[in-house]
Chain A
Amino acid sequence: MRGGGLWQLGQSVTRRLAQSDKKTVARRCFASEADLKKTALYDFHVAHGGKMVPFAGWSMPIQYKDSIMDSTLNCRENGSLFDVAHMCGLSLKGKDCIPFLEKLVIADVAGLAPGTGTLTVFTNEKGGAIDDSVITKVTNEHIYLVVNAGCRDKDLAHIEEHMKAFTSKGGDVSWHIHDERSLLALQGPLAAPVLQHLTKEDLSKLYFGEFQVLDINGALCYLTRTGYTGEDGFEISVPSENAVDLAKAILEKSEGKVRLTGLGARDSLRLEAGLCLYGNDMEQHTTPVEAGLTWAIGKRRRAEGGFLGAEVILKQIEQGPSIRRVGLFSAGPPARSHCEIQDEKGQNIGEVTSGGFSPCLKKNIAMGYVKSGHHKNGTKLKIVIRGKFRPVVGWVNHQGIFLNLRAKSLALAKP
């Protein structure tokens, strides 16, 4: 009896995943909670019924008392509060911080208006993605950026290496890693009305993609109107000692409509919104062009290059990439990461990189890469899921955006 039951369920899941996931050997991790890092909200999560799981070296809530499905729906209907303090926020400062960063990312950083930000990609020499990041030009001498928790060590080492080379040639740039701050994400239709209760600044003047330093609930916060859900919302960098109070205040002001939401729902939301998950939909070998992020390469950057891997990327823009990211609907069980995609004749033409059931659409959705030529809407494809062929029954645009959120994003843009 001992060792059966849920443990056995876990084992059978592990075996199943090990079969479909040839790259990663899924294994039951025996790391104790003591080895994992904790955010400022750890006790708060546990007190609110958070199911804590290891994630990128941190103990994070995958969900709370409500199901992942209900959480996802509630975010779009009301709002969600996410603890994303495991992510790494940093500031680049100095007269040359803009030309410095432009060597490492595809964005037109110089062209950003002060107080605005954008999604960008840190590239390597082969044009592949080291990480994706939301960068914000605070002023011409201060850039604030957030990178993924799982890529923290890699990204910081990369930035530091280039910073040393840059400064040794006389460039003026330095950094500060904001480990004294915690990042919270407040997303959904109630995000702005609720947050407005906690600050004197008029949030209706802060458009999507914009940034402000302001007092929220008595603490000096960095506020970016952005998110990872496709909804309106904010990422709030708050001093860690004020994080719990801010979280409490947000939940109270919403009268329970904004709920603490975990990483499980966060993944559903971003998949529905067509947003890449680094490590799944983007990896070291994936170029921004292949990932459907050519729009993020500034016009001037396309003309001038000057970032790592520019030759590869500019060539792909000119000639087209050999593989492309697509969004697919499929029948039967949901497609998951690493499921094979085949054409009508049974030839391998690609792979699913993220997939699941969409609570909002009530359908299976998946993102993946297919060989160019097979990426057009209507091409007959099938996905191999646990040895069975499941037909692709629908397509979305090359950015894999499943939910029609365009109207929402237009409404939030600066007029």
Chain B
Amino acid sequence: MASKSWATRLASYLKISAQNRGFATVRDDLKYGSSHEWVKVEGNCVTIGISDHALHHLGNVIFVQLPDEGAQLKQGTSFATVESMKSTSDVNSPISGRVVEVNTELTGSPGLMNASPYEKGWIVKVEIANGEEVKTLMDPEHYSKFCEEEEEEEDANH
């Protein structure tokens, strides 16, 4: 029992209170995009997923809308959506390229993203067009700091 469209409004809130900082892992062998994607670079092929930090905020993933194999991705544009209990989020591509493999396991088991964000929870494998783009991504240390700064900003807004 509540006021109009509260779930809609709530879904746009990804704020956390100061006391609740779950410890999220940042993997050392990966690069990171500014909207919390991780990238594993293996030659001219990369694997993309969402970081533990972002998943902590999203909560249980209940549905993943995956792109098709062969889809062309452009850096900074949305290529997938991830739904949690109360919100739907776009996943932005950290690089440009062609999707060569899609993690179809996520269709039946979206919870893999929460359980194994950096291994079983991968989203797509992409053949990259431009090696330079990878250099624009954050290294683990930089990403950890980025997450901290973002949380401080969130706390300041409270």
**Footprint of B on A, CB under 8 Å?**
1-2, 4-10, 12-14, 16-17, 21, 23-24, 26-30, 32-33, 46-47, 49-56, 62-63, 65, 67-69, 87, 132, 148-151, 228, 263-264, 267-268, 270, 276-280, 283, 332-334, 336-337, 354, 356-357, 359, 386
B12 CB contact (under 8 Å) in A28, A148, A283: A28
Return chain A residues, CB-CB under 8 Å to B5.
21, 23-24, 279-280, 337
Q: CA–CA, A266 to B13, complex, Å?
A: 17
Return chain A residues, CB-CB under 8 Å to B149.
2
Q: Quick one: which of B1-23 are within 8 Å of A by CB?
A: 1-20, 22
- Asked if B72 lies at the interface with its beta carbon under 8 angstroms from chain A, I say no
Q: CA–CA, A334 to B60, complex, Å?
A: 13
Return chain A residues, CB-CB under 8 Å to B144.
none
B63 touches A149 (CB 8 A): no
A6-B54, A386-B81 known; A13+B87 contact, CB < 8 A? yes
B60 touches A10 (CB 8 A): no
- Asked if B119 lies at the interface with its beta carbon under 8 angstroms from chain A, I say no
Q: 29 pairs across A/B with beta carbons < 8 Å?
A: A2-B149, A5-B35, A6-B154, A9-B36, A10-B14, A12-B78, A13-B89, A24-B9, A26-B12, A28-B12, A30-B157, A32-B158, A33-B158, A49-B19, A56-B6, A68-B59, A148-B1, A149-B2, A149-B3, A150-B2, A151-B3, A276-B1, A277-B2, A279-B3, A279-B4, A279-B6, A280-B6, A283-B4, A356-B86
B6 touches A67 (CB 8 A): no
A6 CB contact (under 8 Å) in B3, B57, B59: B57
Return chain B residues, CB-CB under 8 Å to A87.
1
Q: CA–CA, A313 to B67, complex, Å?
A: 48
A26 touches B8 (CB 8 A): yes
A1-B146, A55-B6, A268-B85 known; A13+B12 contact, CB < 8 A? yes
A7 touches B19 (CB 8 A): no
A1 CB contact (under 8 Å) in B34, B88, B158: B34
Q: Mark B99-126, 1 if CB is under 8 A from A, else 0.
A: 0000000000000000000000000000
- Asked if B133 lies at the interface with its beta carbon under 8 angstroms from chain A, I say no
